[in-house]
């Protein structure tokens, strides 16, 4: 029956012995079109309430939807990035009453979505998450309940803002292939990078451009059954995705272990309390009475159109990481550089003669993303060369880099301005010898007590830095200390 795998998965580490998590994610991505999905109203974030509206997205009687072709192109770009099949699709009406939905139905896609059967390979976890579908739909407006508790059931009144109503969304639905919070976060991050890379969305979770619902269940580790799941809504940051999933999975395990069972429901993540709460119980079960929207016609992308979209796809995160690795980057550094969107700069610096390892180090640790695009690759490469040649210490190099970003000067000029000069090994060795002779007890212990060496190493490096006003290369000091102690 169950076939327990040899290595423990992430979720098995987090859950009591014998359980694992089964997670599927639904990501809603707002598309960065100029206008809404079916209406000429502007699609932008942060406007005054009810400014970005038009009779069509207000659902006024007599109005009709006309599909925004740019939204379909963006959706197909997302589909192709997710390795989906892009196919003929039909818009359907999802019928339910809600005040922030002007027509009291949402135009979505049901049994014939635009994108189906794709996958995402996670770069760090190394797992493949299958994508069931990525369909196009319209967003709803926003309701604010004004009353004592801010909750709908005892609100004094409600305010509705339709700016978001009709904004194009792509909903990306995975199979339940995710096995833990870190994997979930990595998946979301990878999808976010993809939709940004193809230009389909700004991917800003904090502005709601990318929203995640998690379907969470648990099962005996190694089993392939699918147990009752709960849908967790309101997870608005990567951090809360991880916390919410872990909380919910533990809740399920606790229920099972106390002889109870979870019920299928929608739950809300309470970030402050660090727990999920059951949503308002629905009086009627979810019967959305889907049917093909008679106001719209099927969209049947031609193979030529799909090929054209595919041919003009910008490089995807995976391809960009691969390019960095080919240029000499390690995979972890490559992932971080792509995430920081600094890969084209890094590649140009390596091309200009910068040593890959040092360039990666600066790009991942020392370089602020803002302003980095203004850096001249050849100046950056010169800086790395000066550092490699010992003309600058790593500390100095970091400072010079920061100033290169702020004032655009060459590294040589900045180094000269600060009087950063090559401190040659001989000079440094003389300084170190002086310090050793003035601290004989410390040196004695450094040489003879291996367990104290780490702490005392810090002492000697600190003394050297103090004496050289930070101009010494810490790494070189360590090398000299080791050489002297062993000689």
Residues near other proteins (CB under 8 A): 55, 58-67, 93, 95, 97, 99, 102-105, 152-153, 158, 160, 283, 287, 289-291, 293-297
Which residues are CB-contacts of 428 (< 8 A; sequence separation ≥ 6)?
Answer: 464, 468, 472, 473, 476, 477, 480
- Nearest by Cα to 390 from 431, 421, 359: 421
Return d(Cα 143, Cα 275) in angstroms, integer. 23
CB of 292 to other proteins, least distance (A): 9
**DSSP 3-state assignment of 266?**
strand
Q: Which is nearer to other proteins, 39 or 234 (CB)?
A: 39
CB of 140 to other proteins, least distance (A): 13
Q: Which is nearer to other proteins, 291 or 433 (CB)?
A: 291
CB of 268 to other proteins, least distance (A): 18
Neighbours of 256 (CB within 10 A): 18
Q: Which is nearer to other proteins, 50 or 468 (CB)?
A: 50
> Would the CA dihedral through 374, 378, 380, 382 be positive or negative?
negative
CA–CA distances in Å: residue 7 to residues 11, 90, 157, 224, 405: 11, 44, 54, 16, 46
Q: Which is nearer to other proteins, 62 or 259 (CB)?
A: 62
CA–CA distances in Å: residue 381 to residues 153, 324, 356, 377: 62, 16, 10, 6
CB of 59 to other proteins, least distance (A): 5
CB of 151 to other proteins, least distance (A): 11
Return d(Cα 165, Cα 42) in angstroms, integer. 11
DSSP state of 42: B
Q: Which is nearer to other proteins, 54 or 268 (CB)?
A: 54
CB of 46 to other proteins, least distance (A): 23
Q: Which is nearer to other proteins, 294 or 419 (CB)?
A: 294
**Segment (H or E) for 469:** none
Chain position carrying tokens 């190099």: 397
Alpha helices, DSSP H, located in 278-376: 303-311, 317-326, 331-339, 343-351, 356-361
Q: Which is nearer to other proteins, 97 or 263 (CB)?
A: 97
CB of 283 to other proteins, least distance (A): 8
Return d(Cα 91, Cα 103) in angstroms, integer. 15
CB of 286 to other proteins, least distance (A): 9
Return d(Cα 149, Cα 147) in angstroms, integer. 6
Q: Which is nearer to other proteins, 39 or 339 (CB)?
A: 39
Q: Which is nearer to other proteins, 104 or 444 (CB)?
A: 104
CB of 277 to other proteins, least distance (A): 20
């Amino acid at each position: 029956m169950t076939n327990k795998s040899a290595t423990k998965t992430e979720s098995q580490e987090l859950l009591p012995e014998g359980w694992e998590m089964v997670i599927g994610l639904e990501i809603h991505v707002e598309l960065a079109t100029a206008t809404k999905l079916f209406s000429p109203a502007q699609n932008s974030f942060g406007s005054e309430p009810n400014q970005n509206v038009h009779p069509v997205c207000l659902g006024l009687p007599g109005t009709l939807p006309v599909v925004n072709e740019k939204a379909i192109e963006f959706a197909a770009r997302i589909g192709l990035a997710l390795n989906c099949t892009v196919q003929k699709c039909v818009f359907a009406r999802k019928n339910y009453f809600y005040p922030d939905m002007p027509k009291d139905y949402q135009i979505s896609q049901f049994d014939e979505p635009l994108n189906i059967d794709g996958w995402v390979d996670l770069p760090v976890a190394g797992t493949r998450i299958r994508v069931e579908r990525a369909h196009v739909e319209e967003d709803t407006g926003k309701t604010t309940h004004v009353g004592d508790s801010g909750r709908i059931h005892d609100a004094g009144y409600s305010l509705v803002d339709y700016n978001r109503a009709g904004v194009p969304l792509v909903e990306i639905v995975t199979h339940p292939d995710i096995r833990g919070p870190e994997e979930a976060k990595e998946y979301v991050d990878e999808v976010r990078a993809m939709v940004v890379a193809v230009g389909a969305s700004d991917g800003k979770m904090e502005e709601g451009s990318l929203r995640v619902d998690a379907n969470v269940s648990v099962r005996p580790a190694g089993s392939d059954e699918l147990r009752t799941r709960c849908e967790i809504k309101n997870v608005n940051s990567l951090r809360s995705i991880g916390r919410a999933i872990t909380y919910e999975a533990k809740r399920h395990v606790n229920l099972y272990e106390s002889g109870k069972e979870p019920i299928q429901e929608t739950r809300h993540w309470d970030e402050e309390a660090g727990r999920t709460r059951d949503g308002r119980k629905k009086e009627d079960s979810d019967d959305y009475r889907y049917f093909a929207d008679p106001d719209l016609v099927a969209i049947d992308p031609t193979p030529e159109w799909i090929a054209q979209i595919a041919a003009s796809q910008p490089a995807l995160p995976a391809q960009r990481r691969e390019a960095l690795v080919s240029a000499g980057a390690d995979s972890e550094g490559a992932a971080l550089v792509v995430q920081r969107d600094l890969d084209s700069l890094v590649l140009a610096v390596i091309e200009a003669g910068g040593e890959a390892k040092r360039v990666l180090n600066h790009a991942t640790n020392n370089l602020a993303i803002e302003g980095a695009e203004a850096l001249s690759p050849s100046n950056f490469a010169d800086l790395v060369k000066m550092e490699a040649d010992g003309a600058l210490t790593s500390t100095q190099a970091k400072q010079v880099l920061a100033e290169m970003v702020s004032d655009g000067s060459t590294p040589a000029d900045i180094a000269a301005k600060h009087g950063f000069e090559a401190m040659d090994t001989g000079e440094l060795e003389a300084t170190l010898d002086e310090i050793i002779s003035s601290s004989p007890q410390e040196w004695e212990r450094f040489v003879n007590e291996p367990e104290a060496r780490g702490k005392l190493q810090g002492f000697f490096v600190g003394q050297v830095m103090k004496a050289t006003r930070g101009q010494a290369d810490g790494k070189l000091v360590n090398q000299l200390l080791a050489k002297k102690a062993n000689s």
